[in-house]
Amino acid sequence: MQDDALLAQAQAWLAEDPDPDTREELTRLLDAGDQAELAARFGGTLQFGTAGLRGELGAGPLRMNRSVVIRAAAGLAAYLKKQGHTDGLVVIGYDARHKSQTFAQDTAAVMTGAGLRAAVLNRPLPTPVLAFAIRHLGAVAGVEVTASHNPPRDNGYKVYLGDGSQIVPPADAEIAAEITAVGSLTTVPRPTEGWETLDDTVLDAYLARTTHVLAENSPRTARTVYTAMHGVGKDTLLAAFARAGFPAPALVAEQADPDPEFPTVAFPNPEEPGAMDLAFAKARETDPDLVIANDPDADRCAAAVKDGADWRMLRGDEVGALLAAHLVRRGATGTFAESIVSSSLLGRIAEKAGLPYEETLTGFKWIARVEGLRYGYEEALGYCVDPDGVRDKDGITAALLLTELASELKEDGRTLLDLLDDLALEHGLHATDQLSVRVRDLGVITSAMRRLREQPPTELAGLRITRAEDLTGGTEKLPPTDGLRYTLEGARVIVRPSGTEPKLKCYLEVVVPVASRAGLPEARTRAAALLGRIKQDLSEAAGI
């Protein structure tokens, strides 16, 4: 049966769509009378939130396209003007995905048309360069066009305010309200000129800042293999490594240059199975001290080490603890912070060092706002090691700091794994894992969360749940969020829907005491078994 309202909505969208590609796509769907595909594009709108916008490219309000971006930019401009920034500067960056440069130029045009000043980075660059540029240039806001590590068909729109941090409530809801208030696109002025295209001065300033994360005269000898995962990190990372005096990384040639199709990986995320296979192959050829990977917009940093005869990824929590221990040894002061889904080991490291420590909700938009922040990390490969330079995760400076640590250990005939053993002996073995379920139907996630709330488990893997918290009401220290937290005897579990992907994510941690170095293998075996049983029991409890 034909849905006349749906057809009318699609035809109205088509009439003002500025992009010939999406106009062609929508015309085909209308000509074919494809009700299902039209409904998939026009059955709602992409929701603007604390992650900005992210979604699949295509025509309609439920896809990422020029019309959606122009409305988002117009809403952001209206919000900024209501905040008193009537002629403030908005700096705009973009990655190398399909349509990213076009979306950046549309944003610049809208800002200029609204009476604001706009400046666009001159080529695809890492997200941390944009985050740095905001404060470096004294901008009132920044926009990064990126879908980070999402699949090739996606793009996104990340918004920062003048403090260089991503937006948090209530700014997200206020900007969303302004976006909703935008009428026809014909009412949005979009001049064809009037904004500035930045030269390399900002990038040079960022690169000059990167060496601040390193200790003066520290060893710089570690040899690395590097993959940019088909993203924009290569040139910036190579320049940062050269400036710091590290050996030039051996590149994974197949993934070195930007390619919006991401041809060698199913998902361009170092955490995904198979994504690091080419990097491991390169490591087997060259025998480096460390493998480093950035995600496509280079705000995340992954690392792998030789463990026995072959290479393995370090978990984000392991890298987080290693960087923390390195900073403590160097005499760092200030607050160490992490999100609630990250390992509790950071808190123990900070406590032993006599440093302030804070937990936040998931996302660097929260971590970056911790007062007196010196170091922050999140288990999803995000590390903020220079908050005075970049108040966000930064995969370039994290790679520098980790390579410095590997160099120092190498000078002593030791490795990152040796330091992880030291931390386990000092604080107990903190082992983490994740149960992550990608869905097509978001109702699966809603159903799982409802089931856990209505029929909460009382134990997992034979460990009694001593405290169960529904985080929707917030806690004394945390704002409200859609999540559940279980504290067990020697373990912890957090369950939450992903904010950027169609996933239900369950974060698991067990802590096993270790009496001696000889006891480490047995402790790791026990921890792995406990994590496996927790994962199985939680899966059954959630019905996933």
pLDDT tens series, the chain, 544 aa: 467 889 999 999 999 999 999 999 999 999 999 999 999 999 999 998 777 899 999 999 999 999 999 999 999 999 999 999 999 999 999 999 999 999 999 999 999 999 999 999 999 999 999 999 999 999 999 999 999 999 999 999 999 999 999 999 999 999 999 999 999 999 999 999 999 999 999 999 999 999 999 999 999 999 999 999 999 999 999 999 999 999 999 999 999 999 999 999 989 999 999 999 999 999 999 999 999 999 999 999 999 999 999 999 999 999 999 999 999 999 999 999 999 999 999 999 999 999 999 999 999 999 999 999 999 999 999 999 999 999 999 999 999 999 999 999 999 999 999 999 999 999 999 999 999 888 888 889 999 999 999 999 999 999 999 999 999 989 888 999 999 999 999 999 999 998 777 889 999 999 999 999 999 999 999 999 999 999 999 999 998 8
Q: How many CB atoms lie within 10 A of CB 244?
A: 17
What confidence score (pLDDT) does residue 1 get?
A: 42
The tokens describing 261, both together, are: 């199709």
Region of residue 308 (left: phi > 0; alpha: psi -120 to 50; beta: else)? left
What confidence score (pLDDT) does residue 18 get?
A: 97
**CA–CA separation, 325 vs 327, rounded Å?**
6
Measured at the alpha carbon of residue 136, what is the angle toward residues 135 and 138, in degrees to the nearest 5?
A: 60
Quick check: helix, strand or coil at residue 45? coil
Q: Is the dihedral of CA 460, 517, 419, 352 positive or negative?
A: positive
The residues near 304 (Cβ < 8 Å, ≥ 6 apart) are 276, 279, 280, 283, 290, 291, 293, 311, 312, 313, 314
Using CB atoms within 10 A of its CB, is residue 392 exposed (0-12), middle (13-18) or buried (19+)? Answer: buried
To the question of domain 4-199 being in CATH 3.40.120.10, the answer is: yes
**CA–CA separation, 373 vs 190, rounded Å?**
39
Using CB atoms within 10 A of its CB, is residue 356 exposed (0-12), middle (13-18) or buried (19+)? Answer: middle
Residue 129 corresponds to which amino acid?
Answer: V
Catalytic pick from 67, 148, 343, 407? 148
- Assigned fold of 205-425: Alpha-D-Glucose-1,6-Bisphosphate; Chain A, domain 3 (3.40.120)
Enumerate the CATH 3.30.310.50 domain ranges in the chain, comma separated: 428-542
The tokens describing 133, both together, are: 């540029």
Residue in the structure block whose two tokens are 């030789």: 306
- Kindly state the greatest CA–CA separation across the chain: 74
Q: Residues 384, 393: contact at Cβ < 8 Å?
A: yes
- Please report, for residues 220, 246, 280, the alpha-carbon distance to residue 286 in angstroms, rounded to integers and kept in the order given: 18, 16, 10
What confidence score (pLDDT) does residue 544 get?
A: 85
Strand partners of residue 118: 90
Enumerate the CATH 3.40.120.10 domain ranges in the chain, comma separated: 4-199, 205-425
- Assigned fold of 428-542: TATA-Binding Protein (3.30.310)
What confidence score (pLDDT) does residue 2 get?
A: 61
Q: What is the DSSP letter of 518?
A: G
**CA–CA separation, 135 vs 470, rounded Å?**
37
Q: Residues 182, 45: contact at Cβ < 8 Å?
A: no
Q: Residues 219, 141: contact at Cβ < 8 Å?
A: no
Q: Residues 117, 109: contact at Cβ < 8 Å?
A: no
**CA–CA separation, 122 vs 156, rounded Å?**
19
Residue in the structure block whose two tokens are 């979604």: 55
Q: Residues 383, 120: contact at Cβ < 8 Å?
A: no
**CA–CA separation, 247 vs 43, rounded Å?**
53
Q: Residues 506, 435: contact at Cβ < 8 Å?
A: yes
The tokens describing 238, both together, are: 């190579």
100 given a catalytic annotation = no
Quickly count helices (H) and strands (E) in the chain: 17, 21
